[in-house]
Amino acid sequence: MTQRMTVRGASVIFWIVVAANTLFAQIPTDSTGKKGADSAELLNEVLITARRSEAPAQRTAASVNVLNSKYLQTYQPRTTPEALMGVAGVFVQKTNHGGGSPFVRGLTGNQTLTLIDGIRLNNSTFRYGPNQYLNTVDALSLDRIEVLRGGGSVQYGTDALGGTIHLFTREPELGGTSEIKALGRLASGGMERSFRGEITSAHTRWAATVGYTNRHFGDLIGGDTTGHQSPSGYNEQAFNAKLKVQLGSRAVLTLAHQGLEQRHVPVFHKVRLEDFALNEFEPQRRMLSYARLENSSANRFFQKITTTFSYQATREGRVSQKNNSPTRRTETDRVRTAGLTVNVFSEFSEKWTANSGLEVYRDAVNSDKIDVNSTQSSIPRPTRGLYPDGATYLNYAVYSLHQWQLARWQLSLGGRFNGFSINLSDATLGKVNLQPNALVGNAAVLYQISEQSNVYASFNSGFRAPNIDDLGTLGIVDFRYELPTASLKPERSANVELGYKLRSRRVGGSFSVFQNELHDLITRVKVGSEQIQGYPVYRKENVGRASVRGAEIELEALITSPLKVYGSLAYAYGQNVTKDEPLRRVPPLNGRLGLEFRRKAWFVRPETAFAVKQDRLAAGDRDDNRIPKGGTPGWVVFNVLAGYEGSFLNVNLSVQNLTNVDYRTHGSGINGVGRSAWLTVSVVF
């Protein structure tokens, strides 16, 4: 199957290359002989994620997206997950208004890796399927987002089966500008009231930035037949600080802290569909502190050494109570993660560079559960939580990534060894010590056809090691009751990709086809016909094989100097080979198409986003109460963004879902927003 996919993909890419280069010949030039204006600069980005060092996106042999600060300023996304809506190859599912789980090439949850400033957000309790953790990063603190589709395990380790999402918070610049920023946002129907203040002080040898965000989200108002979806609103506050200090002539120290807390975040579909009077995350907290030292050297073998010490702590509280039940359940999971990363950039010659290093992360997990019965006077005591209390998870690795530039050819080769030590003690399992390991590699070749275009082929092997969630879960998860299991091995992936990229001064775009073979998947296996608390019982085993294949295309073109057209389209076909059925929750064909008109500081950006009906359903999809019978209907939504982006004042108005249609992204537990207006005003002093 892989060979047929590769041959077909090569044929398609050949004809696209021919068409694209024909297009270049027809592009008009200006009076200086240069092709067009510079409105396609968005694609001429420098990224870090694919190589762990700076490289032009256009010359990277991988499918990548860069959502830069201008993009985030224009779209003003409500949350970090929603910033990824419309990105080719990424589809955002929302179990609740306070969540948002990105599917990267059909995979999500603990099969997609998320990083913040180079530090893993994923920890050992990340679960299979959609989760809410990306929404614990303050969208208003971000400078840019990079998405690496189809890779990341060699560069960053476990979980990157579908791809890697890398979030970068704003950096104070040495010798930059000192300023004060204030931002306010209001939405119609009381759906949002937000404020953010940020102060930056910049000097020659040091610079610092401090920011605070306070947000109130009202109930989400859906389309024409849905209206208020209650309860779905919640409150959020966040704080971040970053200090950068020049140490001598060759060293820079960065100290950073960020934290976010969300209170009373309802799980909407649980209340509406599963007879809960109360079901919410309370609280949802994340805190990250890190120190990073960057040393430069004249030694070409150790040209730059970056050492990062990090400490991250998360707390997930869950409060639930059934209708007509006197018992309120409070569950709390805490994860504390200490990390060390050392990365060495080497320039062995003008044509050969490398990034090599080591990583160590250690999780300490605490979990408990308290049931309070209002009809009893006894003092409640903590009992076994969702995970074994006191479990630990050690993740250690060494890696090396190499690039060679040989005339028009660029070659990339990398490898990683990753080991783990998982320890837990459980009444059901006893004492468990599991020590899985993984050896993975990647290889890519890129050929530069011309100054404007290139073609590439890549292979990425990936893995996801079993974690505490796999080994120790005991209790209700979604619509199942899960039992722990004692022995699992890593999931594996092998992703083959062919792609083409172009960028001139008037036209930019990319096209790729891929096939990802997955094996040793950790899947939930039903335990007979047994039920606990009315839920079917499942246990996890390494019995799954699956494949995901698909294609993605992105294009933007300058029609006239102020007018640009842009669009993207993504298709993924997932098949569970083991069960001979569709892979769970795979997104349907989806994309967006829009126009952007800019004149000086003013802009207007009408666009449409769409998805076709998804009726290729696995048995688990048909049992999922978030997915309508017969599948999720297709939808088309029209939005308009407009505003003024000046040096000191920015005004952004977003009118969403102009036709007020009712729609739901596949697998979500809540419908999308109906016709609404969102006004954002920011000033710089």
CATH topology of domain 2-684: Maltoporin; Chain A (2.40.170)
Q: What is the mean pLDDT of residues 237-254?
A: 97
Pair of tokens at residue 121: 């957000």
Q: Which of 140, 102, 131, 114 is nearest to 49 (CA)?
A: 114
Whether pLDDT at 378 is above 90 = no
Whether pLDDT at 558 is above 90 = yes
pLDDT band at 128 (very low <50, low <70, confident <90, very high): confident
pLDDT band at 3 (very low <50, low <70, confident <90, very high): very low
Residue 433 burial by CB count (10 A; 0-12/13-18/19+): exposed, middle or buried? exposed
Pair of tokens at residue 570: 């993504």
The whole-number pLDDT of residue 35 equals 37
Q: What is the mean pLDDT of residues 113-136?
A: 95
Per-residue pLDDT tens for 294-306? 999 999 999 999 9
The whole-number pLDDT of residue 513 equals 98
pLDDT band at 442 (very low <50, low <70, confident <90, very high): very high
Q: Which of 577, 662, 584, 659 is nearest to 627 (CA)?
A: 584
The whole-number pLDDT of residue 472 equals 80
The whole-number pLDDT of residue 24 equals 40
The whole-number pLDDT of residue 524 equals 78
Please tell me the number of Cα atoms within 13 Å of 427 on its side-chain side. 5
Per-residue pLDDT tens for 387-429? 999 999 999 999 999 999 999 999 999 999 999 999 999 887 7
Q: What is the mean pLDDT of residues 339-344?
A: 98
The whole-number pLDDT of residue 286 equals 98
| Domain coordinates in residue numbering, the chain | 2-684
Beta strands at 507-532 and 535-558: parallel, antiparallel or unpaired: antiparallel
Please work out, in degrees rounded to the nearest 5, the angle formed at the alpha carbon of residue 630 by the alpha carbons of 626 and 633: 70
The whole-number pLDDT of residue 475 equals 73
Whether pLDDT at 10 is above 90 = no
Per-residue pLDDT tens for 316-328? 999 999 999 999 9
Determine if the pTM surpasses 0.85.
Answer: yes
Per-residue pLDDT tens for 510-554? 999 999 999 999 887 888 777 887 788 888 888 889 999 999 999
Whether pLDDT at 244 is above 60 = yes
The whole-number pLDDT of residue 307 equals 98
Cis peptide before 283 (omega within 30 of 0): yes
Whether pLDDT at 137 is above 50 = yes
The whole-number pLDDT of residue 158 equals 97
Percentage of the chain beyond pLDDT 70 is 93
Rounded Cα–Cα distance for residues 600 and 647 (Å): 11
Question: Which residue has 């998805």 as its token pair?
Answer: 611
Q: What is the mean pLDDT of residues 238-243?
A: 98
Per-residue pLDDT tens for 262-276? 999 999 999 999 999
Q: Are 121 and 135 in contact (CB under 8 A)?
A: no
The whole-number pLDDT of residue 67 equals 95
Sign of the CA dihedral running 19, 25, 29, 33: positive
Per-residue pLDDT tens for 647-669? 899 999 999 999 999 999 999 99
Whether pLDDT at 11 is above 90 = no
Pair of tokens at residue 240: 């971040």
Rounded Cα–Cα distance for residues 435 and 382 (Å): 30
Mean pLDDT, the chain, whole residue set: 91
Q: Are 395 and 418 in contact (CB under 8 A)?
A: yes
Per-residue pLDDT tens for 451-490? 999 999 999 999 999 999 888 877 777 677 887 777 889 9
